[in-house]
Chain A
Amino acid sequence: MGVASHLDSALTRHPIPHPPSSSLKPCHSQQPNAATQAAFTEQWMHLLLAYARHRGIFILRIEDAEVTGGGEWDEVLRNPRINRKLKSTQLADIIGTMVRMNLAVYEPPKQMRAVLLYWRLPEEWAEVLHEWATKTGQLNTILTFYEISNPPVPSAFSGAPESLLRSAIAILAKGGRAQLISISDGDGVRFFSRTTK
């Protein structure tokens, strides 16, 4: 599914079924009218999360709107068909709104140039992580964070940032389904089956 159609569908939720491609042009400019700006920001957030989920991308940086060509976000942030691109100032504004709405967190913390996108909530990631460990027969063994984010067979956690793994593991640890372990080269984790409480 091309991104243009992603954006099209993002913009065309009920009740307007088919917007003209020209309607996408103003979406690439900050709107001085607060209601219009809010409506556009909402469509962008929807599109960014849908695209990140579709491609398995975790991080969105403001510089993704600044680099010229070749970036993994180009398909969304640039639209050569209508000769428009999302500017970094507008992206920064959208990112700020996403953080306020808990759809993203600054990653790493204490800066505002990059975010971890929550196209799944930490609680959902915890379930996916435990399911992955169970399916791949890695219960009760010690796994390093590196092994989880760089698995031999690509998984949902390929390339996942450590902070995401930590929050998911913390949730599992509360239910007795994982244990954080300090090992020589950084931290690791051991998963337990559901029945072991």
Chain B
Amino acid sequence: MHRRGGAGLAALHRQQESLKSYDALSNQLSTEQVETLHAQLDHFRGALTRFATHHRADIRGDPRFRRAFQQMCASIGVDPLAGPRRGGWWEEALGLGDWQSELGVQIVDVCVSTRERNGGLIELAELVRILSRLQEDVVRSIQALKALGAGYEVLELEFGYGHGGGRKMVRSVPKELDADQMVVLAVAAEQRGRVDEELLIQRHAWTAERAGAVLQNMLLRDGTCWLDEQDGPDGTRRAYWIPAAMQWDD
């Protein structure tokens, strides 16, 4: 009998010993490989983070660059939303959490779907009510949306006009509201949305031309106010209504 390993109880014992050592070696190799992979992944994630941080302005500011970056992440199986911190790696690197992105999408949805009637100007309180979210969250998301360059911004009306002052409006079009338009908004907010030339002339000592011009721009060019030609006791006077400044009944 010259069988390798021999026979009997001793041989069986020897075989078990060698199996054990194979197992140990295998475990050791696996652990090493996993550690290497982890190290590589960490290294890669670090590189990606550096890349993202370095190009942070481009990622946030340029939609095409952002899309390319997302595609790159997707192609190598890295989820930019996943990460050690709550809110995700995306938020960590870019300051724009997925949760906040989602709220941003909802804000854009409301602003765009109401734009045909309000010209892209909506009261912040109304937006908060429709979204059923906290005002501070909505404001933070709007600030994040600023990066889109579509004009999303929170505007605060001047104080000093009864309850009209201090009200906040959200603009969702890339048009600047000039100082005169802000005055019109503040006056309208105090009058439950209604404004006319006379009111502006009385309150602000404007000329009729100045009052007419700002209202005409808001009406025709921007679509931020509506015309009412049946105002006054005889139903023939012109008034203007600014939907963003109207009082909303509940």
Chain A residues proximal to chain B, CB less than 8 Å: 14-23, 25-26, 28-33, 35-36, 38-39, 83-85
> In this assembly, does B168 line the interface, its C-beta being within 8 Å of a C-beta of chain A?
no
Cβ of A83 and Cβ of B241 under 8 Å apart? no
Closest A residue, CB atoms, query B126: A16
The 8 closest A-B pairs by CB, nearest first: A26-B226, A29-B229, A33-B223, A26-B228, A39-B116, A25-B228, A39-B117, A18-B249
Cβ of A83 and Cβ of B230 under 8 Å apart? yes
Task: List 15 A–B pairs whose Cβ atoms lie within 8 Å, in order of A's numbering.
Answer: A18-B250, A19-B248, A20-B249, A22-B193, A22-B241, A25-B230, A28-B230, A29-B227, A29-B229, A30-B229, A31-B227, A32-B219, A36-B117, A83-B235, A84-B235
Chain B residue numbers with a CB within 8 Å of A36 are 116-117, 119, 223, 226
Least Cβ–Cβ distance between B103 and chain A, in angstroms? 15
B176-209 vs A, CB cutoff 8 Å, 1 = contact: the mask equals 0000000000000000111000000000000000
Chain A residue numbers with a CB within 8 Å of B114 are 15-16
Chain B residue numbers with a CB within 8 Å of A84 are 230, 235
Q: Do A26 and B241 contact each other (CB < 8 Å), given the known contacts A16-B114, A39-B116?
A: yes
- B223 in complex: contacting residue of A15, A23, A25, A35, CB < 8 Å: A35
Least Cβ–Cβ distance between B120 and chain A, in angstroms? 10
Cβ of B117 and Cβ of A33 under 8 Å apart? no
Least Cβ–Cβ distance between A42 and chain B, in angstroms? 9
Chain B residue numbers with a CB within 8 Å of A16 are 114, 126, 130, 248
Least Cβ–Cβ distance between B190 and chain A, in angstroms? 14
Chain A residue numbers with a CB within 8 Å of B243 are 23
Closest A residue, CB atoms, query B229: A29
B105-124 vs A, CB cutoff 8 Å, 1 = contact: the mask equals 00000100111110100000
Least Cβ–Cβ distance between B192 and chain A, in angstroms? 6
Chain B residue numbers with a CB within 8 Å of A19 are 246, 248-249
How far, in whole Å, are A22 and B192 apart by their CA atoms in the complex? 9
How far, in whole Å, are A14 and B248 apart by their CA atoms in the complex? 15
How far, in whole Å, are A23 and B247 apart by their CA atoms in the complex? 9
Main SS at interface, chain B: mixed
Q: Do A20 and B246 contact each other (CB < 8 Å), given the known contacts A29-B229, A32-B227, A38-B116?
A: yes
Chain B residues proximal to chain A, CB less than 8 Å: 110, 113-117, 119, 126, 130, 192-194, 219-220, 222-223, 226-231, 235, 239, 241, 243, 246-250
Cβ of A22 and Cβ of B246 under 8 Å apart? yes
How far, in whole Å, are A20 and B194 apart by their CA atoms in the complex? 12
Closest A residue, CB atoms, query B243: A23
Least Cβ–Cβ distance between A93 and chain B, in angstroms? 14
How far, in whole Å, are A29 and B193 apart by their CA atoms in the complex? 16
Cβ of A29 and Cβ of B230 under 8 Å apart? yes
Cβ of B194 and Cβ of A22 under 8 Å apart? yes
Cβ of B192 and Cβ of A20 under 8 Å apart? yes
How far, in whole Å, are A60 and B171 apart by their CA atoms in the complex? 40
Cβ of A33 and Cβ of B193 under 8 Å apart? no
Q: Do A26 and B113 contact each other (CB < 8 Å), given the known contacts A15-B130, A18-B248, A20-B246?
A: no
Closest A residue, CB atoms, query B247: A20
How far, in whole Å, are A136 and B86 apart by their CA atoms in the complex? 69
Closest A residue, CB atoms, query B227: A29
Least Cβ–Cβ distance between A77 and chain B, in angstroms? 13
How far, in whole Å, are A21 and B229 apart by their CA atoms in the complex? 16
How far, in whole Å, are A14 and B239 apart by their CA atoms in the complex? 27
Closest B residue, CB atoms, query A86: B230
Least Cβ–Cβ distance between A89 and chain B, in angstroms? 11
Q: Do A25 and B248 contact each other (CB < 8 Å), given the known contacts A38-B116, A39-B117?
A: no
How far, in whole Å, are A25 and B246 apart by their CA atoms in the complex? 12
Cβ of A23 and Cβ of B227 under 8 Å apart? no
Chain A residue numbers with a CB within 8 Å of B130 are 15-17
Closest A residue, CB atoms, query B241: A26
How far, in whole Å, are A17 and B126 apart by their CA atoms in the complex? 10
Cβ of B230 and Cβ of A20 under 8 Å apart? no
How far, in whole Å, are A148 and B128 apart by their CA atoms in the complex? 55
Closest A residue, CB atoms, query B235: A83
Least Cβ–Cβ distance between A74 and chain B, in angstroms? 16
